[in-house]
Amino acid sequence: MKNKQLRPSYIAIDLTYRCALGCGFCFVARNKLEAGCGRELGLRGWTDMIGALGPGHKKFYLTGGEPMLRPFLPALVKKLKAAGHTVLVTTAARVPAAAAAALAGAGPDEIVLSLHGGRALHDRTAGPGAWDAAVRNLEIMKARRPAHTRITLWCTINRANHARLPAVWRALKALGADGIAFNHLEFVAARDAAASAALLAGIGSATPLNSSEDLAQGMNAAALAKGAAEVRRLAGKDAKFYPPLTGREIKKWYSPAAKMERPGFCLGQFNAAWFAPDGSLLTCQPLAARISRRTAAPLAAYNGQAYKAFRRLLIKNGGFFPSCRRCGRAPYSSAGRTYA
Ligand code: SF4
């Protein structure tokens, strides 16, 4: 890799860190990412940035926070699609109906809608009224999308829903989306957060990542594993789990003291770029170590000394940092899904 110029093909953009929901496990809120962020870029800022990433097909992941809070989102999706890129948008859809209709009409490849349970469970997690807004907008998006736009329901497993996954699956299945995905709770043990911060400090970098091991307190991993197996039996390939942990791995994942080891290295640091709402180039959203402020030459920053030092540290540390143990970005592993 020494002299090779890296060109990311997977581009994640946090359009805003603002959101109308109040999910307690949201790492944007827990790590106070909004406080460290400058002024949000607008449509022109993002199209300039995207143009500076050079030619070639890319996969764009437009997220946040709540990206639908940015009124230019449909226009950005249309521009990316017209240029031949693949576009996925995440949302919790607590927005006006017109915003939902406009996003669907723009025709992204996939809309990923967060719903963390049936009405009572979702509202308990996200705030009163969140379910009704999301389901109303889901119906609008189903009606307004072009044929190629897929809608996936995305459920983060958390303390409130972890022992009720089959009931959650039934509630989500009834909504008639194209797919259902369960995301294992991402949390960071205090020891791992401190170890990563110390490693980064050694190269003059920093992460806002805080310990979040309290999120796993009170979760019954055996009940969760049983429910996950039942969902798999009921749904077959219609329900996905990220990462696709086995029952044994689930028990380890939800034990903060367990040192899950990951083979390979984080591929995302070599083929993906992550931008904050102000255009800063980050290593990734979980670590959020800033490589550069907004720049007219993002590819130079991606191949610059600061990112090189970060990648060297990553490899020297075995391919991942201690706080990567429960990062759900499984495709980012060069070695696939296996944990030890
Ligand atoms: S595995 Fe680590 S370095 Fe890679 S995306 Fe996750 S937190 Fe970032």
pLDDT of residue 335: 62
Substitution site in 61, 63, 324 for ligand 1 pocket (most atoms within 8 Å of beta carbon):
324
Q: Nearest C-alpha to atom 2 of ligand 1 is from which residue?
A: 324
Domains and CATH numbers, the chain: 10-332 (3.20.20.70)
Query: Residues with Cβ within 6 A of ligand 1?
Result: 266, 268-269, 284, 286-287, 320-321, 324, 327, 329, 332
pLDDT of residue 260: 84
Which residues, given as ranges, of the chain have pLDDT below 70? 1-3, 330-340
Distances (CA, A) of 277 to 41, 48, 89, 93, 247: 6, 14, 15, 19, 37
pLDDT of residue 331: 56
Q: Nearest C-alpha to atom 6 of ligand 1 is from which residue?
A: 327
Q: Nearest C-alpha to atom 4 of ligand 1 is from which residue?
A: 266
Cα 260–chain centre separation:
20
What is the model's pTM? 0.95
pLDDT of residue 35: 87
User: Which atom of ligand 1 is closest in space to residue 333's alpha carbon?
Assistant: 1
Separation of 178 CA from ligand 1 center, angstroms? 28
Whether the CB-CB separation of 43 and 50 falls below 8 Å is answered with no
pLDDT of residue 262: 83
Q: Which H, E and C letters describe the chain, residue by residue?
A: CCCCCCCCCEEEEECCCCCCCCCCCCHHHHCCCHHHCCCCCCHHHHHHHHHHCCCCCCEEEEECCCHHHCCCHHHHHHHHHHCCCEEEEEECCCCCHHHHHHHHHHCCCEEEEECCCCHHHHHHHHCCCHHHHHHHHHHHHHHHCCCCCEEEEEEECCCCCCCCHHHHHHHHHCCCCCEEEEECCCCCCHHHHHHHHHHHHCCCCCCCCCCCHHHHCCCCHHHHHHHHHHHHHHHHHHEEEECCCCHHHHHHHCCCCCCCCCCCCECHHHHEEEECCCCCEECCCCCCCEEECCCCCHHHHHCCHHHHHHHHHHHHCCCCCHHHCCCCCHHHECCCCCCC
For the chain, first and last CA: distance in Å?
A: 27
